Chain A
Amino acid sequence: MTSATDHAADAPARARAPQPSAGRELRLDLFRGLALWLIFVDHLPPNLFTWLTIRNYGFSDATEIFIFISGYTAAFVYGRALTDRGFVVAGARILKRVWQIYVAHVFLFTIFLAEISYVATRFENPLYTEEMGILDFLKQPDVTIVQALLLKFRPVNMDVLPLYIVLMLFLPPILWLMKRKPDLTLALSVGVYILTWEFGLNLPAYPHGVWFFNPFAWQLLFVFGAWCALGGARRMAPLLSSRITLALAIAYLLAAFFVTLTWHLPQLGHFVPRFIESWMYPINKTDLDVLRFIHFLALAAVTVHLLPANWPGLRSPWLAPMILCGQHSLEIFCIGVFLAFAGHFVLAEIGSGPWIHFVVSLSGIVVMSAAAWLFSWYKRVAAKGGMDPKRNETRADLVGGGS
């Protein structure tokens, strides 16, 4: 997705530099890479690696990180384009990006369709007669495919890209207003979020229900990310560096950790007072529960405190795979979804012992990292190849996933 790489794409002189420029926020790449790995692991059946994912230690999970950073980088890149080239050009670039994400989504849907059809024709287990009812949509491929193209039919684990498409579609007006009245834009975003909760707004899904990630609610994180990128983070710096904020954030994270612990050890449930339980549950992921949002904020506050931008570890080769993945996030996200399908396939065909699980998870992360390295390598080579800046820009767009 629009990583800071796009920044390079927008400025041809920078695109030629093989090393990331000094001003680049590697922490964003690092955590987006981390989010991509965690999303991949969370899409596999629960296994050893699942215990490393943050959703087991608090309310929020990798999706929050991913959407926030996407909002941040999109505003950073396209905000600059807006200033340099004007609203129309920046808007056209954003729409081009939306198209790329849409095509990626359709590509993944095709793979899903192939997998599902395979199961439907080969699988006949009387135990699962009822569950096989989910394949009824294959009886009407015309309707299903059209609904998928309309983003209304979304298979399991394919909810993030449609959310991202809708958010990006609304980015041009958001950015336009954000450049003029950042605080007003954020306030409007909060307003939409509140209205969503008040009136239960959501987009319809096919054949039943609503979008799993409600765009009206999740836009809050995206817009908040954009607000941070366009100066909000700087203005919040005194607040973020205060010890009180840090103490509050840590206290909240610990409380959330304890509550999460009660899900796994029900015996601890007695320590959570009944009125808190009835107020707190359910912690709604579809509508981005405010508890999840606060949990993300607390996590971000503590992270910013612990990891300064000039942290030397960011240059260490050990973190390089994660950073590389974060820099090519659309491609790596799609590969991750594909690998999750493939992982399910392996686990279904070979068996699901803990070791096979471990190997599947680990090799998935290795493949994602290798692909990210390949993309970076190609980008470097293409940049060195003495192409003229204009062509260079187009290439960088395609590979770096930018513009």
Chain B
Amino acid sequence: MRKEFAAKIGQLFESDDKLVFLTGDLGYNALEEIQSKYSDRFINAGVAEQNMVGLASGLAYEGHPSFVYSIAPFAVYRTLEQIRLDVCIHNHAVCIVGNGGGYGYGIMGATHHANEDLACLSPLPNMVCWVPAFSEDVEYCLDQIVTRKGPAYLRLGLGVSYPQPVKIGLINQVIKSTKKPRLTIITQGPVVKNAIKALEGVEDVDLFSMLTLPILDFTPELKNSIESTQNVLVIEEHTERGGLAEHLLMRLTREKLRLNQFEAFNAKGYPSKTYGSQDFHWKESGLDVESIQNYLANN
């Protein structure tokens, strides 16, 4: 998604001369064009992420909405207090951009993974976390972030394109429901592609992709699907605690939707204590195509 991200940032910078971009010394082979074209508003803040978030808050206070870019764990965990205090409680227009959320950095290892980022950020005041699932989502997310003006987190991953044209919104209905669905699957982030693959040839399952945490929208399509199936499977590249499944359970309870069955597939860390690609970690956590297919066969 870095390519789409850089292209959209370029467009936004062209139309708004107040925007500022800060990077924690990262962006090789992606951000060079923005760096050279907007040198006065592109700041390499060095390998100093906490300071970078403080800087962004000061810039935003002075009228410059800012993007803060790093690898997801460095952008989130190192800077959590700065995000909470300097950005969120003042409701400043600062967007934390975490590249490679979840297991996105694969074999780079645990230092470079972020599977608790949404649990850390989504409870913070005024914060909206954006988790594009497809490359096409990135543009929509950035438009929303700039329009909404408050604190935001954009979790970028390795994107794929939409398998078919769909209406892009806060909840993407990726595959249309059949008349009598038996299961509603709700995913977040690029792991959706495993659900799409697992659902090839399956005609009685609805699939949705949730773009934000907290859940900003609960569309009639999603509500109708759950009312009809009373059977929900969440697939998320995030720990069980504080992610989509927990947010969703609270929402379903408030909406008074009855469920017969609720299951969640989450990131499970490093169960075999070995490391590999994103696909490898998906398989280890049971987020892979086969695990989803097995669930479909038995439920």
**A and B from one complex:** no
What residues of chain B have their CB less than 8 Å away from a CB belonging to chain A?
Answer: none
What residues of chain A have their CB less than 8 Å away from a CB belonging to chain B?
Answer: none
